[in-house]
Structure 1
């Protein structure tokens, strides 16, 4: 089994959503319950924390500068050198007592992000898409915990996780229209106590999935369901991963401490940390929001 190394002992309550800003050499990630946006500059190893006052689900770079993110109450732009937070919109018909969770941009610059119930009620969430003209499209509803997103290198397949199903779904994807079709199961997680959380893909078309409750990352062939690699992370609640760095061969992994008892934290003191795994395979880039 491969081993991820601790990069930053952040002790995040609910670390999530890493994304790579290639233009500025910055890794972004979020602490949902800590209500903060984190940055890590890969070259200098400098870090910053921006408190936002609301739960933050995911963050992506923006082509025009700054970032776009989902807070608990909708889509926002954030420009640290300009206007700060700017509200972009909240989906119509969104169910009450839900919050945004994971999100990611496709190669056309659309920002896909989903929601989940804040009290654990099933089927209250949905998957949405913020188009580059800032309109918001509802993709589908009756989701329990909208989570990982990824695309194949040719952009013809989209992968999606609703965590409690313990499945990674694959869809035919039309990059030009942003339409998904033909759902099928790519991978089913069978490890006891573990559910699939955040996800990314690599240049070979394989998917890398963080296992919440599984102490690590798994690399699967989504065409065959074959498990190719296990990466051990010293944090039970491994939450998400993204390729970053100048060669896109560094896998950054987030984790969480929320819900772990003080006694159990003694066995995993690095929970909530940011971890790094040096990969032999290059990852897919983080695409920026195009609007």
Structure 2
């Protein structure tokens, strides 16, 4: 495997973000969050000006998914201490707030839906205390279940197109695990080691599974995105002109990578940008949350 620099990485918009995350392709546009600001944005096209704000929650926002079957502008969000549904004005209707604990300051982190429409979201202690985080599954009836604990900084989860496999990164530990999933019930199998990244290589952050079932991993602190085959073989490494690569998405013949200004003493001109380059990779668009009986 050789590292390759995508031709002409460029910033999608002039805006720079403190911690851009959660890149998702939806309806021909890119969604992403600025996690620490609590904002959700949409990019309508490369070079189309500043990103369009869709939500401003005033609390950390890890990731979102659209809600199927309802009016436009409805989202399920992993935000602040828990998981909530929003209406078109951004009002939060909490499904669960497991992070409201007297003993620890917790917040939600990355999240995403499986092909069946269940919403999976990770939590972490705000200072990344070891093993304080968990993974939660929100079912179509709106119930929220803790399915894994003992995590530190969970990122992902992402799923294969048939929903039978989930990949989950624990960024602080530098590991990606693979889990069998029952596509009908959402029952999660035990973790299987899939990939390990030593500190000098960067920490596994946001991920995506492409249409060939390869796993793409953004390496925070490593300035690169790595492609792994279903057997864990390293297939491709894409080098980027900024160290804090945080998530990856594909759509419209382009590869999108979010980046961050967070914890950079001397930011460069592209740090904090949403970067894009041409790509021959295709991947499913964002999967919606599918509530029972419609929204």
TM-score of the alignment, normalized to the shorter chain, above 0.5: yes
**CA 1:120 to 1:259, structure 2 compared with 1: closer, same or farther past 3 Å?**
same
Unmatched runs of 5 consecutive residues or more in structure 1: none
- Residue 282 of structure 1 corresponds to which residue in structure 2? 282
Deviates more, 1:118-127 or 1:61-70: 61-70
Q: What is the alpha-carbon distance in structure 2 between the residues aligned to residue 228 and residue 143 of structure 1?
A: 27
8 Å CA contact 1:155, 1:175 repeated in 2: yes
Equivalent position of 1:21 in the other structure: 26
Choose from 261, 264, 279 the match for 1:260.
264
SS at match of 1:164: helix
Q: Which residue is 1:52 aligned to?
A: 57
Q: Please give the residue correspondences for 1:156-167 in structure 2 after superposition, counting only pairs within 5 Å.
A: 156-167=164-175
Aligned residues: 279
Shift of 1:61: 1.4
The answer (yes or no) to whether the contact 2:56–2:90 under 8 Å persists in 1 is no
Partner of 1:198: 206
Alpha-carbon distance change, 62 to 274 in structure 1, aligned in 2, over 3 angstroms: same
TM-score (ref. length: structure 1)? 0.89
The Cα of 1:102 is off from its aligned counterpart by 0.3
Contact 1:21–1:61 (8 Å) recurs in 2? no
Aligned residue in 2 for 1:115:
123
2:143 paired with 1:139: no
Report if the CA contact (8 A) 1:243-1:250 is conserved. yes
Once the two structures are TM-superposed, the CA of residue 260 in structure 1 deviates from its matched residue by: 0.8
1:103 matched to 2:107: no
Q: List per-residue Cα deviations over 1:181-234 (Å, max 9, x = no partner).
A: 1421122224615110000011111000000001021111131x2211111222
Secondary structure of the structure 1 residue equivalent to 2:269:
coil
Give the TM-score normalised by structure 2.
Answer: 0.88
For the residues of structure 2 that align with 1:283 and 1:115, how far apart are their CA atoms?
26
Q: Residue 93 of structure 2 aligns with which residue?
A: 87
Match of 1:35 in 2: 38
Query: Could you say if the C-alpha distance between residues 13 and 44 of structure 1 is closer, same or farther in structure 2, counting changes exceeding 3 Å?
Result: closer
Q: CA deviation at 1:155?
A: 2.0
Do the aligned residues in 1 keep the contact of 2:179 with 2:190 (CA within 8 Å)? yes
Higher strand share: 1
Instruction: Give the match's secondary structure for 1:290.
Output: coil
RMSD (Å) for aligned C-alpha atoms: 2.0
Asked whether the 8 Å contact 1:116–1:126 carries over to 2, the reply is yes
Answer whether contact 1:199 1:240 (CA < 8 A) is retained.
yes
Matched residue of 1:84: which SS? coil
Shift of 1:278: 2.3
Contact 1:256/1:272, CA 8 A, preserved across alignment: yes
Segments of 5+ residues of structure 2 without an aligned counterpart are none
1:174, CA displacement in angstroms? 1.0
Matched, 1:226 2:266: no
